Amino acid sequence: MCGIIGYTGKKNSVEVLIEGLKRMEYRGYDSSGIAILNDNNEIVTIKKKGEIQKLINAINDRKYPSHTGIAHTRWATHGEPNDINAHPHSDCKNEISIVHNGIVENFKSLKDYLLSKGHKFVSETDTEIIVHLIEEFAEDNDLLTAVKKALKKIKGTYGLLVISKKLPNTIIAARMGSPLVIGKSDKQMIIASDASAIISHTNQVLYLEEGEIAEITVNDINISNIFSNHITDPKFIEIDMTLEQIEKGGYEHFMLKEIYEQPESIRNTIRGRLDKTNGTIRLNGIKKYINDLKDADRIIITACGTSWHAALLGKYLIENFANIPVEVDYASEFRYRNPIVRKNTVVIAISQSGETADTIAAIYEAKRKNAIVLGICNVIGSTIARITDAGIYMHAGPEIGVASTKAFTSQVTVLLLLAILLGRKHHMSFDEGLHLIKELEKIPDKINEILNSRKYIQKLSKQLYKHTNFLYLGRGFNYPVALEGALKLKEISYIHAEGYPAAEMKHGPIALIDDNMPALVIALKDSIYEKIITNIKEIKARKGHVISIATKGDKEIGSMLKDVIYIPDTFEPMAPLLSIIPLQMISYEIAVLRKLDVDKPRNLAKSVTVE
């Protein structure tokens, strides 16, 4: 969750660290802080509760010449957000300072041990345990050995950066369960939770692997394993990310920018993967395992949050096109319920960041049961990309807004591609495959058509933003869209919303219907259109306010309802790529009207890297 960054090099470290924190603020914004080594070789620490601007204000009236430092933006786990609990944390002598992303599960027993040794604690955090352990083991200025000894005592997860006044131009970085990437350029090294904090300085990066620890100086990096002392040869790669991609580009919020980027992100997802000659799909990343997928007795798709909603659509698509049974599992539950994984089971893990802790744990559990595990993620070089047997990259580009938008549609697009490919391996004809491919190519232009209806959606949102409860209903392929639409409203507007299969409304939720409970109903001209029309009539009979997503040209629904958002027609399995767009836009406009921070919703962080 938290964002951490470290710098050693020729530039002023404070400027680099603050810039990096601003790039990573979506990872946590409860509090932030920096610790630098100044010209007198003393550690200076500044920490502030709240957004990073408060830290900047505290720094602006002082000058801090420094070339080495670490910084942190926090998503709180242990201890409430305040100045004291903010990172960095220091040892008793203020000679060692650390920033940490993760959780120390055995912090209570370790704290009792350290208290017995005379260590004094000032915060409520589990992180402070780590710096005191390092202090306990520090001997002969050997910081690397002290950090290793400390981490061997810890149960839990960490992305960790450590500095010491006794090693003025050195940063120790360690990783277990929380991502760390190291960037290098001329006479400088930058370490961060993700590449967005690095890209303005260099595109040459190295991803630390699980259990690795690195001793980093301006010109050198030495990597070994915490537990085996195995030495790793550092191998940097070039990442395909630009500074423009992680800036707002004139939009008021990242979320709005990313909603409008969906035509292009879907084009990028399908680029080079449509084989019109053979009426099928190319997915070279999983080519080695395509027969395992084709012959699978069952596919399990595991994910969290928005990715779980995409996974549910994946189930509908694969079962529809390929006739392979698919089970969708919350990654957070998968490893705790002794999942049944047999010889011909294939597991697919979905994560935008590729760093979701629960999804990573589910992958390890599936591999322990000898399953083939494939990944769908957006970040090249991420943990999930490295630990799965093979995978498919979404190519959606960086997503900064905490509430996922373009990642969802890119995930659904990837699953649609996979379903068509598997369908062609089974009973789907060439003509059907080709028709699907051609229709998929039209989706980006159809999304642009929906985006042009923003003024109408803004007008509609003004009628809705003061309500405190919403119901989202959909059937068939649009049931997962109802779930995702409700989640978007909850995430950024703090309005209670529930997504349901429309037919389930009669089994309980209909009791909630009145004129204060808007119902957003996805009612497209598809195979179950008449059924959803009946559901709308049931709501209207109880004086419910219905807002519908409907197919362009549908006069029947227009005669029934005052508030209708029309979207272009498409093949039924592709409709979610269109029907989700107005729901994303409604959530955004309502949040803006409620004067909320759209990109940084309370209590949420972009990448959930702790369990």
Over range 160-173, report the average pLDDT. Answer: 93
- Check residue 39 and give its pLDDT: 81
Q: Where residue 609 falls among pLDDT bands split at 50, 70, 90?
A: low
Sheet holding 546-551, edge to edge: 496-501, 469-474, 519-523, 546-551, 563-567
Is pLDDT at 141 greater than 70 in this prediction? no
**pLDDT tens figures, 224-271:** 999 987 888 888 888 877 666 777 778 899 999 999 999 999 999 999
Architecture of domain 248-449: 3-Layer(aba) Sandwich (3.40)
**pLDDT tens figures, 192-234:** 988 888 888 888 999 998 899 999 999 899 999 999 878 888 8
Q: Given the residues 2, 49, 184, 490, select the one marked as catalytic.
A: 2
Do residues 263 and 413 make contact, with C-beta atoms less than 8 angstroms apart? no
Do residues 199 and 241 make contact, with C-beta atoms less than 8 angstroms apart? yes
Is pLDDT at 76 greater than 80 in this prediction? no
Of 134 and 139, more confident: 134
CA atoms of 47 and 318, how far apart (whole Å): 50
- Check residue 607 and give its pLDDT: 60
Over range 429-439, report the average pLDDT. Answer: 97
> Lowest-pLDDT range, 130-144, 298-312, 431-445, 543-557?
130-144
Is pLDDT at 307 greater than 80 in this prediction? yes
Q: Which CATH class is domain 3-246?
A: alpha beta
Alpha-carbon separation of residue 20 from 51, 168, 323, 505, 581 (angstroms): 14, 21, 47, 47, 31
- Where are the domain boundaries for CATH 3.60.20.10 in the chain? 3-246
Is pLDDT at 610 greater than 60 in this prediction? no
Map 165-187 to HEC letters: CCEEEEEEEEEEECCCEEEEECC
Do residues 558 and 564 make contact, with C-beta atoms less than 8 angstroms apart? yes
Of 205 and 514, more confident: 205
Over range 135-161, report the average pLDDT. Answer: 90
- Calculate the CA 411 to chain-centre distance: 12
* pTM, full prediction: 0.82
- Check residue 343 and give its pLDDT: 86
Exposed, middle or buried: residue 200 (CB in 10 Å: 0-12, 13-18, 19+)?
middle
Q: Within a 10 A sphere around the Cβ of 145, how many other Cβ atoms?
A: 13
Task: Confirm whether 2 is a catalytic residue.
Answer: yes
What mean pLDDT value characterizes the chain?
Answer: 91
Q: Given the residues 47, 148, 406, 606, select the one marked as catalytic.
A: 606
Q: Which CATH number fits domain 453-598: 3.30.460.10, 3.40.640.10, 3.40.50.10490, 3.40.50.180?
A: 3.40.50.10490
CA atoms of 546 and 564, how far apart (whole Å): 9
- Where are the domain boundaries for CATH 3.40.50.10490 in the chain? 248-449, 453-598
Q: Where residue 454 falls among pLDDT bands split at 50, 70, 90?
A: very high
